[in-house]
Amino acid sequence: MIKNKFKIISLIFAIIFMFSCKKVNKSSSDHLPTLKGKKILMVFGGWEGHHPAVFVTKVSKWLEAAGAQITQSDSLEVYTNKKIMDATDLIIQYWTMGEITKEQFRGLENAVKRGVGLAGCHGGLGDSFRNNPEYQYMIGGQWVEHPGGKIDYTINVIDNNDPISDGIKDFEIKDTEQYYMHIDPNTKVLATTKFTDSIHTWIKGRVIPVAWKTYYGNGRVFYLSIGHNPKDFNTLGAKELLFRGIKWASGSKYEPIENTLKAVYE
Ligand SMILES: [Zn+2]
């Protein structure tokens, strides 16, 4: 009898727990813009070591399944095509290093200023066009090092109120690059990573942002530093951060400007 009572009480607690979990997950992604009908331009190229074509194929599948219309371009010249840029809601760029011409950059910059969103990850957005500081001004950060090359490390989700990161637990990612970045301390940081002393002793305990959101003009900009290999997105937390960040950035033409200012130094 007591045993049965205990079982019933446990069951009630389990049901309450399940519902409260559902509530947390519901609140997280329900506030993000839908991808249904959104026009997304995916621009890929640059250093082949980041497998740009594989990345674009993988991410296109998620976005198409969510109802987005995808246009792919393996040329930066697309940024000068005003007709395409005007019809685009979001640009996802995966272009490591390389060079961008003045005209191509103006096309990209003007589109984002007007309200086209910009999202991406790793070197494809955070280490493109090293000779262009204006580009870095737009992204809010630039890769500078990945100590130790491919390693295992932990991502700490630090913002549990933002719909991009809400409900995502800290997670570990294996055999990939931990980005050390120089970043604009006014971006809204959603996740971070802490460095150990295994390669460069002096960086032990330093914390560097992994995911952030910001604005450039009217355009929403989302960046995630994970993604040295497209397989990184087989890790659920990594996929979720990128997918939700893409959703958020796709809404800048349709949603009011959000306050993403989180100044570190005041
Ligand atoms: Zn890399």
How far, in Å, from the CA of 97 to the mean position of ligand 1?
A: 11
pLDDT tens for the chain, 266 residues long, are 455 565 655 555 555 445 444 444 455 667 899 999 999 999 999 999 999 999 999 999 999 999 999 999 999 999 999 999 999 999 999 999 999 999 999 999 999 999 999 999 999 999 999 999 999 999 999 999 999 999 999 999 999 999 999 999 999 999 999 999 999 999 999 999 999 988 899 999 999 999 999 999 999 999 999 999 999 999 999 999 999 999 999 999 999 999 999 889 98
Q: Is residue 20 part of a domain?
A: no
How far, in Å, from the CA of 47 to the mean position of ligand 1?
A: 9
Contact 117, 252 (CB under 8 A): yes
Contact 139, 223 (CB under 8 A): yes
Q: Give the model's pLDDT for residue 5.
A: 60
Q: Are strands 180-183 and 188-194 parallel, antiparallel or unpaired?
A: unpaired
d(CA 209, CA 195): 11
How far, in Å, from the CA of 213 to the mean position of ligand 1?
A: 21
Q: Is residue 52 part of a domain?
A: yes
Q: Is residue 165 part of a domain?
A: no
Question: What kind and span of H or E run contains 118?
Answer: strand 117-121
How far, in Å, from the CA of 122 to the mean position of ligand 1?
A: 7
How far, in Å, from the CA of 225 to the mean position of ligand 1?
A: 9
Q: What percent of the chain lies above the pLDDT cut of 70?
A: 89
* CATH number for the domain that contains residue 102: 3.40.50.880
d(CA 94, CA 52): 6
Q: pLDDT per residue over 53-96, tens digit each?
A: 999 999 999 999 999 999 999 999 999 999 999 999 999 999 99
Q: Is residue 65 part of a domain?
A: yes
Q: Is residue 266 part of a domain?
A: no
- Residue 87, SS3 per DSSP: coil
Q: Is residue 128 part of a domain?
A: yes
How far, in Å, from the CA of 144 to the mean position of ligand 1?
A: 11
Question: What kind and span of H or E run contains 202?
Answer: none
Whole-Å CA distances, 99 to 13, 39, 82, 94, 105: 58, 25, 20, 13, 10
How far, in Å, from the CA of 255 to the mean position of ligand 1?
A: 33
The model carries a pTM of 0.90
Structural domain for 133, as ranges: 33-142+209-249
Domain count, the chain: 1
How far, in Å, from the CA of 50 to the mean position of ligand 1?
A: 6
Q: Is residue 195 part of a domain?
A: no
Q: Is residue 138 part of a domain?
A: yes
The residues, ordered by sequence, that sit 6+ positions from 242 with a Cβ below 8 Å of its Cβ are 59, 119, 121, 224, 226, 227, 233
How far, in Å, from the CA of 227 to the mean position of ligand 1?
A: 7
How far, in Å, from the CA of 76 to the mean position of ligand 1?
A: 20
How far, in Å, from the CA of 104 to the mean position of ligand 1?
A: 24
How far, in Å, from the CA of 121 to the mean position of ligand 1?
A: 10
